[in-house]
């Protein structure tokens, strides 16, 4: 089990299950944090990195729904993501799949749990399950796809030295 | 087993015995015999685990001899920690953007056009 982070975002990468868990608290009530996940305009404002714009192609975030959005970088390159929405319980839970179209066979099952904290605060626990450790490690080591290449290069260098 | 190095490091550490070995090697080199001692398994089985760790680059041995010291390549382990930290920072940046959105959000949000409970399409 590898855990990093202090009061900020916490990441848990267990070695016995191919999951990644992200924990984060917000100075906002559950209803708002949930709304920022299901409202397409709000979601597009924070989901992607700042240098990318998000174009929502399809947005039906409810039990049995689906979504697809595209990140566009300043050079016009597009990175598309889509998934099925399995279950949505307002202010409580979102269960969905997530695929980056650049890795078409890769899919994660995401469970987002929203919990009320005292003082009008909220804790979000996002757990992503994939079907292999390789897939999970791809998620963790990429972030964006440049990360994985840099990571491999670094590892190659270290392995070459030893 | 896939050929890419990163996956090999992560899969090598997916096994609790190998994780334990890595943790013990972090405090100093040890021979195969010394490594095998706490486990209820044959030296052969321990050697098998060591081979996986070696293939991943996490540990090195000068020879295959049983008494040859096994050495942990701490830099490879550090690199994995660094990858997780980078992932964490990306997630934190994303949630700081969400913090900003939440700060601007009115206290009593009006009825959303896309009510998740009724499934009205946008």
Domain boundaries, chain A: 2-132
The 10 Å Cβ neighbour count of residue B17 is 16
Percentage with pLDDT > 70 across chain A: 80
Closest CA to B112 of A91, A87, A47: A91
Strand partners, A79: A71
Q: What is the pLDDT of residue B67?
A: 80
- The answer to whether the beta carbons of residues A22 and A15 sit under 8 Å apart is no
Is A60 in Cβ contact with B98 (below 8 Å)?
A: no
Lowest mean pLDDT segment, chosen from A63-67, B5-9, B61-65: B5-9
The helix/strand/coil state of B121 is coil
Choose among A154, A132, A10: nearest CA to B14. A132
In this prediction, residues A93-117 reach a mean pLDDT of: 93
Give how far B119 is from chain A: nearest CA, Å. Answer: 6
* CA dist B32 → A76, A80, B17, B45, B81 (Å): 55, 49, 13, 11, 26
Strand order in the sheet with A108-117: A2-4, A10-13, A19-26, A121-129, A108-117, A93-100, A78-89, A65-72, A53-60
Please check whether residue A133 is in contact with residue A17, taking contact to mean a CB–CB distance below 8 angstroms. no
**pLDDT tier, A162 (very low <50, low <70, confident <90, very high otherwise):** low
- pLDDT value at position A161? 65
pLDDT given for residue A142 in this prediction: 56
Q: Do B119 and A11 touch (CB under 8 A)?
A: no
Whether A32 sits inside 8 A of B105 (CB atoms) is: yes
Determine, for residues A24 and B105 on separate chains, whether the beta-carbon distance falls below 8 Å. no
Angle at A101 between CA A98 and CA A103, to 5 degrees: 90
Please check the confidence at residue B122 and state whether its pLDDT lies above 50: no
Closest CA to B35 of B18, B15, B10: B18
Residues within 8 A of B (CB atoms), A 25-64 only: 26-28, 31-33, 35-36, 38-40, 42, 45-47, 49-50, 59-64
DSSP characters over B45-84: HHHHHHHHHHHHTSEEESSS-TTSPEEE-HHHHHHHHHHH
Is pTM beyond 0.80? Reply is no
Angle at A70 between CA B101 and CA A76, to 5 degrees: 105
pLDDT at residue A16 greater than cutoff 80: no
How distant is the Cα of A138 from the closest Cα of chain B, in angstroms? 8
> A154 CB near a chain B CB, below 8 Å?
yes
pLDDT interval class at A65 (50, 70, 90): very high
Residues of B (82-111) whose Cβ lies below 8 Å from A: 83-88, 90-95, 97-103, 105, 109
Exposure on the CB side of residue B68, measured as CA atoms within 13 A: 12
Assigned superfamily of A2-132:
START domain (3.30.530.20)
Domains of chain B in start order, with CATH, are 5-73 (1.10.10.10)
> Hey, is the C-beta of B62 within 8 angstroms of any chain A C-beta?
no
């Amino acid at each position: 089990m590898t855990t990093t982070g202090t009061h900020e975002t916490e990441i848990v990468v267990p070695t016995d299950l191919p999951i990644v868990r992200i924990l984060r608290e917000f100075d906002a009530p559950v209803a708002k944090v949930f709304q920022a996940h299901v409202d397409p305009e709000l979601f597009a404002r924070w989901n992607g990195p700042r240098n990318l714009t998000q174009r929502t192609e399809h947005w039906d975030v409810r039990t049995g729904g689906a979504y697809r959005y595209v990140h566009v970088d300043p050079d016009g390159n597009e990175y598309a993501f889509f998934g099925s929405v399995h279950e949505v319980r307002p202010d409580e839970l979102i269960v969905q799949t997530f695929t980056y179209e650049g890795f078409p066979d890769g899919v994660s099952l995401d469970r987002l749990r929203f919990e009320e904290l005292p003082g009008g605060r909220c804790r979000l626990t996002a757990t992503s399950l994939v079907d292999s450790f390789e897939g999970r490690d791809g998620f963790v080591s990429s972030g964006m796809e440049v990360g994985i290449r840099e990571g491999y290069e670094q590892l190659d260098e270290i392995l070459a030295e030893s | 087993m896939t050929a890419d190095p990163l996956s090999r490091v992560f899969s090598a550490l997916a096994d609790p015995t190998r994780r334990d070995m890595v943790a013990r090697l972090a405090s100093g080199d040890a021979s195969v015999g010394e490594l095998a001692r706490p486990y209820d398994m044959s030296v052969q089985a321990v050697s098998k685990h060591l081979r996986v760790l070696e293939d991943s680059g996490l540990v090195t041995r000068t020879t295959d001899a049983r008494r040859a010291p096994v050495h942990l390549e701490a830099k490879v382990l550090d690199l994995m920690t660094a990858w997780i930290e980078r992932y964490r920072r990306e997630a934190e940046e994303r949630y700081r953007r969400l913090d900003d959105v939440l700060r601007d959000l009115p206290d009593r949000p009006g009825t959303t056009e896309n009510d998740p409970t009724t499934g009205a399409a946008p």
